[in-house]
Amino acid sequence: MLAEIKGLNEECGIFGIWGHEDAARLTYYGLHSLQHRGQEGAGIVVAHNGSLSVHKGMGLVTDVFQSGTLDALRGSAAIGHVRYSTAGGGGYENVQPLLFRSQTGAMALAHNGNLTNAIELKLALEGQGSIFQTTSDTEVFAHLIRRSQAPTFVEQMKEALSQIEGAFAFLLLTEKALYAALDPHGFRPLSLGRLGSAYVVASETCAFDVIGATYEREVAPGELLIISREGVRSERFAPEQPRSICSMEYIYFARPDSHVDGINVHTARKNLGKRLALEAPAEADIVTGVPDSSISVAIGYAEASGIPYELGLIKNRYVGRTFIQPSQALREQGVKMKLSPVRGVVAGKRVVMVDDSIVRGTTSRRIVSMLREAGAVEVHVRISAPPITHPCFYGIDTSSKEELIAANRTVEEIRRLIGADSLAFISQEGMLEAIGRPDISPQRGQCLACFTGQYPTRLGQAARPCLTMK
């Protein structure tokens, strides 16, 4: 099994707007709808009267911004970022957007993704005397822009974009324009929308719905959008490649009301559930899903199987970092951290428990055991992803998932480990058909690397063990 080397920008949410006098406030609502993509930190940069201002902090969007701080962020263009909670590193310094000032103008950067050659680039830059204040690969990208000798800023950006590898969706704001760029494989979602005469760009379309904007189109892989007073201009920094959008965005990461690359996530999940019911039926009394990502799947499974959907598991809505965790002693006495079984629903029942994936298996084992303690007589586990056998280097945090349970075990072995009465994963074909991409074609492809080990890009030092970014 490969070692895991992770950057810090994985699984984030980005939002940008150009040409609206309430830019900061709309960015706040946009980020709020993207909160599921990152709870550790949030920030907004606005452009106003030829200069950039920033406010950011640790915590949820609603923790970081108060009415006063938001009002102070005047300007008609803004970018914002919500950041995923990573175990190590972190801290304020890594909260985005990053703001870089210079005598020739300032620029702000917000990034979702993971550069696979960040360490190589950073070592080279440091050899040339560059200094770094964050451990984020976003800063590497900024250095590349500033080091470029190309004649125009757009050319400098394109030169920098052509040097970086891996998964990236970038928003860059200057006093003059908002730039949006997506890596040549399009691993991460990035959509363009309109709100009256203003343009918006966001990681997910739910951010458009919440502010009343309309969806225009996807930012294309290898595309650089330049949004300014002259409108939207499209440039390419790389030739068109088969899109490799992350399968996990559909399976568990995106919000169910978003459309990722044009496909509604809830519908995709319901179809995954229907397909699972066909591929792996079960004799059971109720179907229940692990919230939140598997509720839609469970409803689909119930619909196709005729077994009633019931609320057998409930998620405690912990509100971020202020929740006081139960002690080990209390946990052993039965205090639930995140999920509670609903005793009155599952007691005496044969239960189909639908979940999105099995990584290390510990969570699945805990849920199965929890259902049994609450009286379930049988527990049949159905998983809406194929077995995950390889780590992700494109921004899905499997860094805490050191031992992928499916890497070298059979389904039967896993079933025994998690203590289920039966276990089934959806097939790869089943997943692709359910999501709506029966043929993986250059124009409409999905990244399957974590299921197959076939990585769409060179991995560089990212794949070498024991090398972490400092």
Reference 273, options 403, 368, 165, 385; nearest CA is 385
Among 85, 163, 241, 267, binds its own copies (CB under 8 A): 267
The verdict on 330 binding its own copies (CB under 8 A) reads yes
Q: At what angle do helices 265-279 and 428-435 cross, to 10 degrees?
A: 140
Stretch that binds its own copies, among 160-168, 331-339, 353-361, 390-398 (CB under 8 A): 331-339
Helix (H/G/I), strand (E/B), else coil: 351: strand
Binding mask 196-235 for its own copies (x = CB under 8 A): x--------xx--xxxxxxx--------------------
The verdict on 3 binding its own copies (CB under 8 A) reads no
* Residue 247 known to bind ligand: no
Counting Cα atoms < 13 Å in the Cβ hemisphere of 398 gives 24
The verdict on 130 binding its own copies (CB under 8 A) reads yes
The verdict on 63 binding its own copies (CB under 8 A) reads yes
Reference 297, options 343, 246, 353; nearest CA is 353
* Residue 246 known to bind ligand: yes
Residue (307 or 449) nearer to its own copies, CB: 307
Residue (125 or 154) nearer to its own copies, CB: 125
The verdict on 416 binding its own copies (CB under 8 A) reads no
Map 8-28 to HEC letters: CCCCCEEEEEECCCEHHHHHH
Residues 72-101 that bind its own copies (CB under 8 A): 91-93, 98-101
Kindly list the catalytic residues.
Answer: 12
How many chain residues are in contact with its own copies, going by CB under 8 A? 95
Chain-centroid distance of CA 425 in Å reads 22
Which residues, other chains included, contact 334 with Cβ-Cβ below 8 Å and sequence gap of 6+? none
The verdict on 104 binding its own copies (CB under 8 A) reads yes
Among 240, 303, 378, 433, binds its own copies (CB under 8 A): 303
Stretch that binds its own copies, among 25-33, 77-85, 357-365, 456-464 (CB under 8 A): 25-33
Residues 131-160 that bind its own copies (CB under 8 A): 131-135, 142-143, 146-147
Residues 419-458 that bind its own copies (CB under 8 A): none
In the beta sheet, which residues pair with residue 217?
A: 192
* Residue 206 known to bind ligand: no
Chain-centroid distance of CA 288 in Å reads 25
* Residue 355 known to bind ligand: yes
Stretch that binds its own copies, among 74-82, 180-188, 316-324, 352-360 (CB under 8 A): 316-324
Sign of the Cα torsion 130, 136, 141, 145 reads negative
161 backbone dihedrals φ, ψ, rounded to 5°: -60, -30
Query: In angstroms, rounded to a whole number, what is the distance separating the alpha carbons of residues 252 and 296?
Result: 11
Residue (66 or 408) nearer to its own copies, CB: 66
Q: Which residue has the tokens 């405690």?
A: 316
The number of residues making up the chain comes to: 470
Reference 166, options 220, 115, 236, 211; nearest CA is 115
The verdict on 367 binding its own copies (CB under 8 A) reads no
DSSP H or E segment with residue 199: strand 198-202
The verdict on 343 binding its own copies (CB under 8 A) reads yes
* Residue 392 known to bind ligand: yes
Known binding positions for [4Fe-4S] cluster: 246, 392, 447, 450
Known binding positions: 246, 293, 355-356, 392, 447, 450
Known binding positions for Mg(2+): 293, 355-356
